[in-house]
Amino acid sequence: MSINAGDKMPSGSFKVITAEGPRDLSTDELFSGKTVVLFSVPGAFTPTCDAKHLPGFVQHADAIKAKGVDTIACMAVNDMFVMKAWGQSANVGDAVLMLADGNGDYTKALGLELDARGFGLGMRGQRFAIIVKDGVASVVNVEAGGEFKVSSAEHILSQL
């Protein structure tokens, strides 16, 4: 069963690389007392993710944060080193927090897995965007297969 609007976000953690090195970031640290836009891509550096999804959130970060969002976070079932390299390649700076869900544990907890073995990508996460307010999903937008509409930065901006 997948996450729905009104549900509490599941507990878990992500891997991130900070100036001090790799560390775990708990969902409590990420969501507690904050408004967060969490978006997920099937994979770093993959075509739509790299050309449209992440760049849209970088481009619209100031407008999204002006609507009261504390953090914009991108997650993928990739390791923390790939997420760091992708963030650097996309010049995210401080606009987007890059979260690694390397084993897909958080993706599974959300119920939003994507079987991409047919493409040689293994198990990944679906493309989605969730607006989280103090640990509760207020908006959950999950893309239909092959689509890129409801999880875009522009669409999320219209929902804030």
Among 16, 37, 49, 100, the active-site one is 49
**Cα 149 from Cα 154, distance rounded (Å):** 9
Q: Tokens for 114?
A: 């994507």
- Spatial neighbors of 37 by CB under 8 A, at least 6 apart, are 57, 64, 69, 71, 72, 73, 129, 130, 131, 132, 156
In whole angstroms, how large is the CA radius of gyration of the chain?
14
Alpha-helical regions (H) of the chain: 27-31, 47-48, 54-59, 61-66, 80-89, 105-110, 153-159
**Maximum Cα–Cα distance across the chain:** 40
Active site includes 74? no
> Which residues are catalytic, by number?
49
